[in-house]
A and B are shown apart, each in its own frame.
Chain A
Amino acid sequence: QSVLTQPPSVSAAPGQKVTISCSGSSSNIEKNYVSWYQQLPGTAPKLLIYENYKRPSGIPDRFSGSKSGTSATLGITGLQTGDEADYYCGAWDSSLSAWVFGGGTKLTVL
């Protein structure tokens, strides 16, 4: 059981928009920064979003992040087949004194 809760799967058609939620608590998401990762099959995760909404260099603005209270959301617009991957949220948990992750969400682009 992951500390952060994500839907197991989401799907949408090419060109459409999808959002992936990440639910936590006052000791992690509400108090600390959230980051998001994309893991393509057979590869290491890649940082998409850090400090709730910032994008590293090279990440297209189709990817966006937001946070409100104890939840965070990853948004992806203009979906492409190459976006099919597992997506993970992560945050520091001040009560556990540990970096925690969501269980991951599998994105299918139909």
Chain B
Amino acid sequence: QVQLQESGPALVKPSETLSLTCTVSGASISTYYWSWIRQPPGKGLEWIGYIYNSGTTNYNPSLKSRVTISVDTSKNHFSLKLNSVTAADTAVYFCVRGGSAADYWGQGTLVTVSS
């Protein structure tokens, strides 16, 4: 049974860096594509980026200048860093398995950007 669990601060100040980790169980992080997707309150889904092959990344062009996704194979988890955040980055952040279709999703974590 594949399971994903997001973790990280629920509140981030404007201009600071949002950092989240997704811990994966039941599947090797070295296999498959792994993505971050976010959903602002009451709005639709937005793909942030993916990582695969333990290090190859691809980011949404609209966020590319602010995003870094990395993987720690020893802990079987992957991470998201989004810098220079604003209120527009307030959203539920999901980690998922897949790069263009997601068969497993974390429960999501709400991150609020506010001072």
Given the interface contacts A47-B102, A96-B61, A97-B61, does A88 sit within 8 Å of B107 by beta carbon?
Answer: no
Given the interface contacts A97-B58, A100-B47, A101-B47, does A44 sit within 8 Å of B101 by beta carbon?
Answer: no
Interface residue B72 (Cβ < 8 Å from any Cβ of A): no
Contact: B47 with A98, CB < 8 Å? Answer: yes
19 pairs, A vs B, C-beta closer than 8 Å? A35-B100, A37-B45, A47-B101, A47-B102, A50-B101, A51-B101, A56-B103, A88-B44, A90-B45, A90-B100, A92-B100, A97-B58, A98-B61, A99-B50, A99-B99, A99-B100, A103-B44, A104-B44, A104-B45
Interface residue A24 (Cβ < 8 Å from any Cβ of B): no
Contact: B101 with A33, CB < 8 Å? Answer: yes
Contact: A2 with B44, CB < 8 Å? Answer: yes
Q: Which residues of B contact A (CB under 8 A)?
A: 35, 44-47, 50, 58, 60-61, 94, 99-103, 105-108
Shortest distance between the CB of B1 and any CB in chain A (Å): 12
List 6 additional A-B contacts (Cβ < 8 Å) besides A88-B44, A102-B44.
Answer: A2-B44, A35-B101, A44-B107, A98-B47, A98-B60, A99-B47
User: In the assembled complex, which residues on chain A have CB atoms less than 8 Å from the CB atom of B58?
Assistant: 97
CA distance A16 to B100 in the complex (A): 31
Q: Which residue of B lies closest to A98 (CB)?
A: B60
Interface residues in A25-77 by Cβ distance below 8 A to B read 32-33, 35, 37, 43-47, 50-51, 56
User: In the assembled complex, which residues on chain A have CB atoms less than 8 Å from the CB atom of B108?
Assistant: 44
User: In the assembled complex, which residues on chain B have CB atoms less than 8 Å from the CB atom of A99?
Assistant: 35, 47, 50, 60, 99-100
User: In the assembled complex, which residues on chain A have CB atoms less than 8 Å from the CB atom of B47?
Assistant: 98-101
Contact: A32 with B103, CB < 8 Å? Answer: no
Q: Which residue of A lies closest to B94 (CB)?
A: A44
Interface residue A107 (Cβ < 8 Å from any Cβ of B): no
Shortest distance between the CB of B23 and any CB in chain A (Å): 15
Shortest distance between the CB of B57 and any CB in chain A (Å): 12
Contact: A90 with B105, CB < 8 Å? Answer: no
Contact: A45 with B45, CB < 8 Å? Answer: yes
Partner of A45 from the list B35, B60, B61, B105 (CB cut-off 8 Å) is B105
